[in-house]
C-alpha cells in the first residue's frame, strides 16, 4: 500500500466493533498513512473502540452521541488541540427504532421519523458545519455511507430509506456549498454486510442470499471493499468527484 495519505488527518464517526463499516474505512485510511480519530457512542462501546484505536498509530478514540450536540462540539475541540487541522471526515452513523424497521412504513411514528432523520441524516450536516473551520484551505473530503433503500423500496427498511434519501440529497447540497472551498463530499452506497446494525434485522440472511444469487458479481461485498472505496473517495485519485453516490454492491443496483 502506497502511503498516499501520509501527514493527513481524519475522523471516522460510528465505530462500534471490528465488524463496523467505519472500522473498515479507518483501516484503509490508516493503511495509507492517515492519522485518525474514531468516535463511538456510549461507554459500552468505549472499551472496544479504545482497543481498536490502539491498533492504529497515533489514533484517538472519542465519545460522540449526535443527539447530544455538545458531544460533537467536544470532539472538534479535541481535534483542534490534538491535530490542529483536518483533511477527512467519514460519517458511518445510522439509527432507527427497531419497531420502525418491520411491517408497513405508514405506521411510522412522528417521533421515530424524527429520530431516524436526526441520527442518520441531519448528523452529517451538523458534523460538516463544525468540521469546516478545521478543513479550511486543505482540499478536504467527506464520505458518508448509504444504502439502495434510499432510492428504491426495500421491504422493512422503511423510515431508514427516507432518512437515506435525505442523506444523499444532503451530500449534493453540501458538495455545492463546500466545493468553492475545495472540499468534496460523496456517499458510498454499500451492499448488505453483516454488522452490529444489520444483525438486528430480521430476514437479513435472506437479503444476503438474494444478492449472492442475483448481483452481477454473484457474491456479497466485504467491509474491506467499502474501506477501499472510502480510501479512493478520501484520497487524491478521486479529486474530480464530488456530490456523488458510488455503489459498492457487486453491481446489484443495475438490475431491473
Ligand atoms: P454499526 O452498528 O457497526 O455502525 C453504526 C454506528 O452508528 C454504530 O457505531 C453506532 O454506535 C452509531 N450510532 C447510532 N446512533 C448514534 C448516535 N446517536 N450518535 C452517534 N453514533 C451513533 O453498523 P454499520 O452497518 O457499519 O453501519 C454504518 C453505516 O453504514 C450506517 O450509516 C449504515 O446505514 C450504513 N450501511 C450499512 C450497510 C450494512 O449492510 N451493514 C449497508 C449500507 C450502508
Ligand atoms: O442501514 C442499515 C442498518 C440501519 C439500522 C439497523 C438497525 C437494527 C437495530 C438502523 N437502526 C437499527 N436499529 C436497531 O434497533 N443497513 C443498510 C442494513 C439493513 O438494515 C435493514 C436492511 C438492511 C440491508 C433493515 C430492514 C431491511 C433491510
Judged by DSSP in three states, 155 sits in coil
Residue 256 to residue 245: CA distance in whole angstroms = 19
Longest dimension (CA), the chain: 50
Q: For residue 18, which ligand has an atom nearest its CA?
A: 1
Mean pLDDT to the nearest integer, 22-36: 98
Residue 28 CB–ligand 2 contact under 6 Å: no
Residue 4 CB–ligand 2 contact under 6 Å: no
62-108 tens-digit pLDDT: 999 999 999 999 999 999 999 999 999 999 999 999 999 999 999 99
Q: Residue 200's pLDDT is what?
A: 83
Q: Which residues are known catalytic residues? A: 147, 157
Q: What is the band of 2 on the pLDDT scale with cuts at 50, 70, 90?
A: confident
158-169 tens-digit pLDDT: 999 999 999 999
Residue 66 to residue 72: CA distance in whole angstroms = 6
Q: For residue 188, which ligand has an atom nearest its CA?
A: 1
Angle ∠(104,92,13) on CA atoms, nearest 5:
135
Residue 21 CB–ligand 2 contact under 6 Å: no
Contact, 124 vs 91, CB < 8 A? yes
Q: In whole angstroms, what separates CA 176 from the centre of its chain?
A: 19
Residue 123 neighbours by CB under 8 Å, 6+ apart: 13, 66, 91, 93
Q: Residue 43's pLDDT is what?
A: 87
Judged by DSSP in three states, 246 sits in strand
- Atom of ligand 1 at shortest distance to CA of 167? 32
Is 80 exceeded by the pLDDT of residue 185? yes
Amino acid at each position: 500500500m502506497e502511503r498516499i495519505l501520509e501527514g493527513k488527518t481524519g475522523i471516522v464517526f460510528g465505530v462500534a466493533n471490528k465488524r463496523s463499516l467505519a472500522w473498515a474505512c479507518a483501516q484503509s485510511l490508516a493503511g495509507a498513512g492517515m492519522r485518525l480519530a474514531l468516535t463511538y457512542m456510549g461507554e459500552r462501546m468505549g472499551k472496544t473502540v479504545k482497543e481498536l484505536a490502539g491498533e492504529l498509530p497515533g489514533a484517538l478514540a472519542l465519545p460522540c452521541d449526535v443527539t447530544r450536540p455538545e458531544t460533537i462540539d467536544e470532539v472538534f475541540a479535541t481535534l483542534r488541540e490534538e491535530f490542529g487541522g483536518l483533511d477527512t471526515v467519514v460519517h458511518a452513523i445510522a439509527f432507527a427504532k427497531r419497531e420502525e424497521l418491520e411491517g408497513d412504513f405508514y405506521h411510522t411514528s412522528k417521533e421515530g421519523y424524527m429520530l431516524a432523520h436526526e441520527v442518520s441524516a441531519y448528523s452529517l450536516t451538523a458534523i460538516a458545519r463544525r468540521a469546516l473551520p478545521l478543513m479550511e484551505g486543505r482540499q478536504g473530503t467527506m464520505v458518508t455511507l448509504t444504502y439502495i433503500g434510499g432510492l428504491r423500496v426495500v421491504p422493512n427498511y422503511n423510515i431508514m430509506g427516507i432518512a437515506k434519501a435525505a442523506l444523499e440529497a444532503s451530500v449534493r447540497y453540501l458538495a455545492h456549498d463546500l466545493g468553492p472551498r475545495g472540499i468534496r463530499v460523496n456517499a458510498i452506497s454499500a451492499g448488505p454486510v453483516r454488522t452490529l446494525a444489520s444483525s438486528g434485522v430480521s430476514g437479513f440472511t435472506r437479503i444476503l442470499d438474494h444478492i449472492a444469487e442475483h448481483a452481477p458479481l454473484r457474491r456479497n461485498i466485504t467491509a474491506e471493499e467499502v474501506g477501499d472505496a472510502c480510501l479512493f473517495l478520501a484520497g487524491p485519485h478521486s479529486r474530480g468527484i464530488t456530490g456523488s453516490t458510488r455503489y459498492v454492491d457487486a453491481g446489484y443496483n443495475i438490475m431491473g
